[in-house]
Structure 1
Amino acid sequence: MLALTLGMAAFIVLHLVPGTALRDRLSGAMGEPLYKGLFTLLSAAALVLVVWGKGQASYHSVWVPPVWTRHLAPLLMLASCYLMVTYLLGGKLKGLTPNPMLWSVVIWALAHLLANGDLASLVLFGGFIGYSLLAIWRSRSQRRNDYSGRHELLVAVVALALYVAFLLAHPYLFGVAVMGR
């Protein structure tokens, strides 16, 4: 549990630096390419620590998720995929928020919190919800992208393909079948 907690803390702290004076000072002192390389390396190391820590964490039940949450989580994941693809390809929703990716992460994490009641999941998914909501709050004054939405059908098809790929790969990647539990 310690590795998971340290990894989440490191990941969150690192991702709170961009958009601050500290980022500007660091980038100015070491140069933009070195700053970006170091940021990427440290972020990847934190993410590896998170994944390894989650895999090593022992199960401590915090609550027992109601059965209906197992059915709601996949539906929320479809919305999460749609928002992520909107962020990547553009779409009507991109004009509603400065960063649909952060909302995608919130919904992804919420879906997993609804379906998992253990302490490690609370640290992992709760941490991502907390970070994403803070980042959304910090970015609330950013100029929104006025995307025309001409490719909305493409966004929907790609999001559905991504969703189906995650459903099929989930048992192999994480050892948990999403459907038919």
Structure 2
Amino acid sequence: MTADLSLAALVLFASHALPSWPGVRPALIARMGRGGFVALHSLGSTLALLLFIWAYREAAGSALLFTPAGWAAPLVVALMPLAFLLIVARVTSKAGHPEAPNTPAGIFRITRYPGSLGLLLWALLHVQATGDGRRVVLFGTMAAIALFAMVKNDWVLRRSEAGRAYRTETSVLPFAAILAGRQRLALTEIGWGRLLGGLAAYAGMIAVHPLLFGIDPLYWL
């Protein structure tokens, strides 16, 4: 692992965190216009990602920080469908603005932040199954971005009456609000389409994983 990769990871995290911090986005839009903000944000995010990819490639052959357990790879394969389902369900569901969230429905009855939780699960599963320095930095950065999003959105929710009510009705921990009686499980609101979409995305990733990353997730079978 090199200093360049650590710096690139910090830049990538900042490219996600800074523009989304409360007050920053509206201020930039007021100053630059929505089109200008979108263009600047897109350019900055792209450059940060390209910088990280370059640093990641340069760090090839980084030292092994720990040896993954024998059950690490099978655990990734077993639980990644859940990560894909959470992300697909979030992308295809409307949550509203953190200061004026929609009434909890579908996947939001199960967890308040399905997309960020799916990304966090993705990152943590892969950290424990890799062990080399550069991939620990990669997935550690993913985890940091997901955690930041959850903490930031929770802070924003606390600022409005509607947001505080939404926090009371939902939970970050999956099914906690349902078990506490604050929500009910409504699988029909999630729908078969999202379930099948998540599984299809997972199957697609399994198929292209060896081509994109040089590793077959099913090598242990």
TM-score by length of 1: 0.88
The 3-state SS of whatever aligns with 1:60 is coil
> Do residues 159 (structure 1) and 160 (structure 2) align?
no
> Do residues 150 (structure 1) and 189 (structure 2) align?
yes
For the 8 Å contact 2:13–2:144, the answer to whether it is kept is: no
Counterpart amino acid of residue 80 in structure 1: A
Post-superposition offset of 1:172: 0.3
Cα distance in structure 2, aligned partners of 1:165 and 1:67? 25
- Give the stretch that moved more between structures: 6-15 or 119-128: 6-15
For the 8 Å contact 1:70–1:115, the answer to whether it is kept is: yes
**Partner of residue 64, structure 2:** 61
- Give the stretch that moved more between structures: 154-163 or 43-52: 43-52
Query: In the alignment, which of 80, 84, 90 is matched to residue 81 of structure 1?
Result: 84
The 3-state SS of whatever aligns with 1:66 is coil
Counterpart amino acid of residue 212 in structure 2: L
For the 8 Å contact 1:3–1:49, the answer to whether it is kept is: no
The 3-state SS of whatever aligns with 1:139 is helix
For the 8 Å contact 1:102–1:136, the answer to whether it is kept is: yes
**Partner of residue 25, structure 1:** 27
Cα distance in structure 2, aligned partners of 1:65 and 1:163? 22
For the 8 Å contact 1:98–1:139, the answer to whether it is kept is: no
* Unmatched segments (≥5 aa) in structure 1: none
| Greater Rg over alpha carbons, structure | 2
> Do residues 6 (structure 1) and 7 (structure 2) align?
yes
Post-superposition offset of 1:151: 4.6
Post-superposition offset of 1:79: 0.9
Percent of pairs with identical residues: 26
* Unmatched segments (≥5 aa) in structure 2: 94-104, 158-162, 171-182
> Do residues 94 (structure 1) and 99 (structure 2) align?
no
> Do residues 170 (structure 1) and 202 (structure 2) align?
no
**Partner of residue 139, structure 1:** 153
The 3-state SS of whatever aligns with 2:189 is coil
**Partner of residue 46, structure 1:** 48
Cα distance in structure 1, aligned partners of 2:79 and 2:190? 22
